[in-house]
Amino acid sequence: MILKSYIVENNKDQLFKYRFFLFYGENDGLKKILKDYVKEKNEASETINLFQDEINKDNKKLEKHLFNTSLFEDKKTIIIHNATDKALEIIENIDEIDESIKIVLVSDILDKRSKLRSFFEKRSELAIVACYKDTEITLRNYISSELKGFKGLDHETIKIIISSSNLE
């Protein structure tokens, strides 16, 4: 299911209708915000960070985390960084993955022909969020809302923050 990034930014809780997430694009700041939000909301679960390269070298590593139960934690959140189309092999068997496991895939830009992107877009139980570069208007709104109540925040300060942000 395709979720628009500006809608997700305004209501992050809608992400939790889904167990699997794909955050992709060039806006690393937004991907980090969304990934951190998922981790924060799943605070009671064990968080496992993996990189696609690690999984490519040793595919048993991911299987170990997916199919072994923990004595200490009931739930798991697995975050796969730098995900590529090879991650599709994991997600294709979603029916076999325990309900208590959430999987977050974080990727750079994926073109329209990407198998991973296409798979997430077509399945209603999977969430995909494209994280495009921010515009000055969206950054201005974001800064104003996040720093609301901060003394000394004026238009000049906001301009300085935006100019040094590289539109992220």
pLDDT at 121: 94
Q: What is the DSSP string of 59-103?
A: HHHHHHHHHPPPSS-S-EEEEEET--GGGHHHHTTGGGS-TTEEE
Tokens of 41: 């909301």
Query: What pLDDT digit, counting tens, does each position of 70-97 carry?
Result: 666 778 899 999 999 988 887 787 777 8
How many degrees, rounded to 5, is the angle at CA 132 between CA 29 and CA 111?
Answer: 120
pLDDT at 168: 65
Element (H, E) at 20: strand 20-25
| pTM of the full structure | 0.84
Confidence of residue 155 (pLDDT cuts 50, 70, 90): confident
Tokens of 105: 């895939």
pLDDT at 71: 63
Paired strand residues for 32: none
Calpha distance 68→70 (Å, rounded)? 7
Query: What pLDDT digit, counting tens, does each position of 14-68 carry?
Result: 888 898 999 999 998 889 999 999 988 888 888 999 999 998 888 788 888 877 7
Q: What is the DSSP letter of 114?
A: -
pLDDT at 66: 79
Higher pLDDT, 23 or 162: 23
